[in-house]
A = this chain, B = another copy of it.
Amino acid sequence: MNMDIEKSITSNRVWPHPEVVEDLAQLRRRAPLTHCITNIVVTNFTANVLLAAGASPAMVVTIEEVADFVGIAQALLINVGTITTTDAEIMLKAAATAQETNTPWVLDPVAVGALKFRTAIVGELLKYRPTVIRGNASEILALSGVTGGGKGVESTDSSVAALPAALELAERSGAVVALSGEVDYITDGKNIISIPGGHEIMTKVTGTGCTLGALIASFLPVTESALRAATAASVLFATAGERAFKEAKGTGSFAVAFLDQLSTIGVG
């Protein structure tokens, strides 16, 4: 990593950092209704992750209802993982409505750069100014104009290598960028917060990245900044992942323990 960038990392954030503790308490108190337009692989896990943490997930995915529901919801997630022709129209309408109604929203540009159709739609979505963009190194590199050779949704670049791209993307887009990897980095283009922890086994359970994007969305309406929302969600994921690994006998029991940890962290 470039030394200048390394120096600009404001802080490491781990549980129980007082801001994260406070933000989680707010999430549980207010249970923000989070509108998730996400991929067909992770719908169930996304809802269960949000419920475990304390938010209220809802999936509303038809063109007739999407604008109304963005208006009702406190936050929105758009994840293009399994985007279809119809989804594209719905996502664009949801993003436009979020901008109009000042509903904070997260864009998860799964596999952007690897496939033309979604790359074009993500380009359109960016015009509606997401509050947060969450992605792995390949995706953040692709969005910043430097293709990373994306192999589907798996990151093939280390997160630290994509940090300059994350900074550039944050500055240019005005979004907070949440860059996921062995270490997570959250940046608003000036500050960089690094979040160590988690466990490699998380890459062997589908949706640990996609559901992080959803949880960031849930935190947006209950925290004082998007930087703080993305940080809180990432710290919870890293901590729950680390603790769950200690209880797990394999990837199946890891996923179960991960939800258990999210639903009990800081309780009692």
List A residues at the B interface (Cβ < 8 Å): 33, 39-45, 47-48, 51-52, 56-65, 68-69, 72-73, 81-87, 111, 114-118, 151-154, 203-207, 248-253, 255-264
Contact = CB atoms under 8 A, between A and B. Distances in A.
A77 to B, nearest CB: 13
Given A59-B82, A86-B84, A151-B56, A65 B251 contact: no
Nearest to A34: B152
B52 A250 contact: yes
A259 B264 contact: no
Given A82-B59, A85-B63, A206 B44 contact: yes
A258 B252 contact: yes
Contact of A84 (B61, B68, B256, B259): B61
A203 B263 CA distance: 12
A48 B42 CA distance: 11
A201 to B, nearest CB: 8
Q: How many copies does the complex hold?
A: 3
Contact of A260 (B43, B51, B64, B249): B249
Contacts of A43: 40-41, 44
Given A44-B45, A58-B153, A85-B63, A204 B250 contact: no
Contacts of A59: 39-41, 81-82
Nearest to A110: B58
List of 9 A-B pairs having minimum Cβ-Cβ separation, nearest first? A250-B260, A252-B259, A58-B152, A64-B117, A47-B206, A252-B256, A250-B263, A251-B263, A62-B84
Given A47-B206, A57-B206, A62-B82, 9 more contacts: A44-B44, A51-B251, A60-B82, A62-B85, A65-B118, A69-B115, A250-B260, A250-B263, A253-B260
Contact of A256 (B60, B62, B117, B256): B256
A205 B49 CA distance: 9
A33 to B, nearest CB: 6
Contacts of A250: 52, 257, 259-264
A52 B204 contact: yes
A39 B83 CA distance: 15
Contacts of A45: 44
Given A64-B85, A153-B58, A206 B41 contact: no
